[in-house]
Chains A and B, each alone.
Chain A
């Protein structure tokens, strides 16, 4: 089945540690996105990428980094500079930049601080 796979489902970060969240899609989608969701809040865009080796900052990129070396993969690193990383992280993709294409979501990764 085609879809978006996020791993791990749960992740714990120690003080001063960088952690990487995985996002893989086999939908042949061009654009990929990372969102952060805090309890009772909507989705806030961290980074997005429309093509391989290119990505743009979203509204809350500070303390995060990404790479897009392959079309299928868009990993997110939460660095130690992100002081409040506890949240639900969602990866999404769309087929192309056409305006009528909805986003498809992975199952999410829940990150907590130890």
Chain B
């Protein structure tokens, strides 16, 4: 059984702080990893994708992947109230199926 686990939160950070979101996965042959943001009542939207070990930065977002330890994380710098949402971690196996974590709820306090 392939599993993707996230801390459900809620995670609260003050405006301007760094938010750190973590995700672990069970299968060592996992190939690609994605972070989605989902506002309440809306569909998920892609924030970051990462495929190789290390860090990948895009604006205020940094994704970190460690395949040996089977975790992927998302850092949000200078957090804004508009970042308040649920963040979903997704893992792709063999290009066919995507498995999602249950999501971490983030609240940025003004």
Contacts and interface: CB of A to CB of B under 8 A. Distances in A.
Interface of A: 31, 33, 35, 40-45, 48, 50, 58, 90, 92, 96-108
Interface in B34-90: 34, 42-46, 49, 51, 88, 90
A59 B97 CA distance: 11
17 contacts: A35-B100, A42-B101, A42-B103, A43-B100, A48-B97, A58-B97, A90-B44, A99-B31, A99-B51, A99-B94, A99-B95, A100-B32, A100-B51, A102-B34, A102-B46, A103-B98, A106-B43
A42 to B, nearest CB: 4
A21 to B, nearest CB: 14
Counting from the closest, the 8 A-B pairs by CB-CB distance are: A97-B95, A42-B102, A42-B100, A99-B31, A105-B43, A43-B100, A99-B95, A108-B43
Counting chain B CB atoms within 10 Å of each CB, which of A96, A97, A102 scores highest?
A102
